């Protein structure tokens, strides 16, 4: 089975994760998908296949080199998709791209004016959505690439390789993908997440990440007699939002620029809540962003009364660069594999996070590789079929 065929099959599993759920995995659909993947892995001849109680799916491809005694390489992808965009009833469509605009079933369109990268895929085959859901290539394309690679090794026993660990994680999109990951049981000395974008990307720098929950407590009173007494929590929340630098929002940043991102808001006169994620590749700058939030809190409390605003800050993950740089051979091996398959690797920072960030700090150096996809987390998500096939070749090169 080809990688794109696997991806299309996997889109039938509605694996959106739920940040409000307490358990792991956060949704039953992820456990169902993990069990289906375990059956597929067994059919491909993997050993030690199991799904643990937290929904992590592991397996091993044993070395076929006599008396092999090298390091075990690992490949990791995540099973969940974001839930902020519709993720059920996905209708993937195979399109031969001849240039120009691609009409989606919803009436929306993909145009080279909006997405200039389309021009380089003229004459190639794309997988697109119906325009009213995401596709889920983040990261089911990674899973499809890894298991197609496993099938290739099964069908080509003449390709000599060492021991290969494979792992699929739940809840990556809500920042919990590595929380319950059993590194010892996984069995790899180093690994790669296959969770990136355009073909050729190799990434070992992530953001430093934190989250903030900002709570506003107001004073509710009849508006007819509110003068000098009412404190409208929702309006105080709006003041707080305006006190953060607008130019440091995601829509105004790129490259190594960090941001404050408002992800959720709710409120009334009496109580309001704003939720943010904070990101920066420079840890000192992330701490400065936290300090700005705390200063805004203090100013508003002086104005409206102590306790009007509270800020709860929580660190999520750190920039894995400081760990991966200690293992230069891991990056060199990835770069070499891409060059062997005709593409110069693009080394760039991840403007997001991967399971590899936490795993690297827990002792498993884990850079990130491309899947070939574009427009992740949106209704215009797409992935070129040739990019998926080339990624399978890159994975083969990595283990040979």
Domains for the chain: give ranges and CATH numbers. Answer: 3-206+319-399 (3.40.630.10), 208-317 (3.30.70.360)
Going from the C-alpha of 181 to that of each of 40, 55, 161, 184, 253, the distances in angstroms are 21, 10, 25, 9, 32
**pLDDT at residue 283 in the model:** 94
Q: Cβ(133)–Cβ(89) under 8 Å?
A: yes
Q: What is the pTM of this model?
A: 0.88
131-180 pLDDT, tens digit per residue, is 999 999 999 999 999 999 999 999 999 999 999 999 999 999 998 999 99
pLDDT in tens, 365-374: 999 999 999 9
**Token pair for 194:** 């296959």
State the average pLDDT over residues 54-78. Answer: 97
Contacts of 147 (CB under 8 A, 6+ apart): 6, 37, 40, 41, 44, 166
Give tens-digit pLDDT for 298-347.
999 999 999 999 999 999 888 999 999 999 999 999 999 999 999 999 99
Peptide bond into 181 cis (omega under 30): no
Structure tokens at 90: 């996905």
Q: What is the pLDDT of residue 354?
A: 84
Q: What is the pLDDT of residue 18?
A: 97
pLDDT for 399 equals 97
**Residues marked as catalytic:** 80, 172
What mean pLDDT, rounded, does the chain reach? 96
Q: How many residues does the chain have?
A: 400
For residue 299 the two structure tokens come to 């100013």
Which residues lie closer than 8 Å to 78 by C-beta, 6 or more apart?
A: 139, 142, 168, 169, 170, 171, 172, 173, 177, 193, 195, 355
CB 371 within 8 A of CB 391: yes
What's the Cα-to-Cα distance from 211 to each of 214, 262, 270, 311, 315, rounded to whole Å? 10, 10, 24, 10, 6
Residue 57's DSSP bridge partners are: 51, 168
* Tokens 């959505």, located at residue: 129
> Which pLDDT does position 317 carry in this prediction?
86
Distance CA 313, CA 324 (A): 27
Whether 353 shows a pLDDT value over 80: the answer reads: no
| pLDDT above 70 coverage of the chain, percent | 100
Question: Tens digits of per-residue pLDDT, 173-220?
Answer: 998 999 999 999 999 999 999 999 999 999 999 999 999 999 999 999
Nearest to 4 by CA among 391, 398, 399: 391
Q: Sign of dihedral through CA atoms 290, 210, 346, 334?
A: positive
Please give the structure tokens belonging to residue 234. Answer: 């929702």
Q: How far apart are CA 138 and CA 79, in angstroms?
A: 9
Strands 190-196 and 368-370: parallel
The burial class, CB within 10 Å (0-12 / 13-18 / 19+), for 148 is buried
């Amino acid at each position: 089975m080809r990688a794109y065929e696997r991806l299309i099959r996997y889109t039938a599993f509605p694996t959106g994760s739920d940040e409000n759920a307490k358990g792991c995995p956060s949704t039953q659909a992820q456990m169902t998908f993990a069990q289906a993947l375990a059956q597929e892995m067994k059919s491909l001849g993997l050993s030690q296949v199991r799904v643990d109680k937290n929904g992590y799916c592991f397996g091993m491809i044993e070395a076929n080199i006599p008396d092999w005694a090298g390091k075990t390489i690992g490949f990791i992808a995540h099973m969940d998709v974001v839930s902020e965009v519709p993720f059920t009833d996905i209708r993937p469509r195979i399109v031969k791209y001849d240039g120009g605009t691609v009409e989606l079933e919803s009436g929306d369109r993909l145009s080279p004016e909006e997405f200039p990268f389309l021009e380089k895929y003229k004459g190639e085959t794309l997988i697109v959505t119906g325009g009213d859901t995401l596709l889920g290539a983040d990261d089911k394309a990674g899973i499809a690439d890894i298991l197609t690679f496993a099938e290739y090794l099964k069908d080509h026993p003449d390709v000599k390789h060492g021991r290969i660990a494979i792992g699929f994680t739940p809840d990556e999109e809500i920042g919990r993908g590595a929380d319950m990951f059993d590194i010892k049981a996984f069995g790899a000395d180093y690994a790669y997440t296959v969770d990136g974008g355009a073909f050729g990307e190799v990434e070992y720098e992530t953001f430093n990440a934190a989250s903030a929950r900002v709570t506003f407590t107001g004073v509710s009173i009849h508006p007819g007699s509110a003068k000098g007494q009412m404190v409208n929590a929702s309006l105080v929340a709006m003041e707080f939002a305006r006190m953060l630098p607008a130019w440091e929002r995601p829509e105004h940043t790129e490259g190594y620029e960090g941001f404050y991102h408002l992800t959720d808001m709710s409120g009334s006169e009496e109580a309001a809540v704003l939720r943010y994620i904070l990101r920066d590749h420079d840890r000192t700058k992330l701490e400065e962003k936290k300090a700005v939030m705390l200063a805004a809190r203090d100013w508003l409390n002086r104005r409206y009364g102590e306790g009007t605003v509270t800020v709860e800050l929580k660190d999520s993950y750190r920039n894995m660069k400081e760990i991966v740089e200690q293992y230069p051979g891991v990056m060199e091996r990835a770069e070499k594999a891409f060059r062997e398959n005709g593409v110069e690797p693009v080394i760039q920072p991840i403007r997001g996070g991967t399971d590899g960030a936490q795993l690297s700090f827990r002792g498993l150096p884990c850079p990130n590789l491309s899947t070939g996809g574009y427009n992740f987390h949106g209704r215009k998500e797409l992935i070129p079929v040739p990019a998926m096939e080339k990624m399978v070749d890159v994975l083969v090169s990595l283990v040979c």
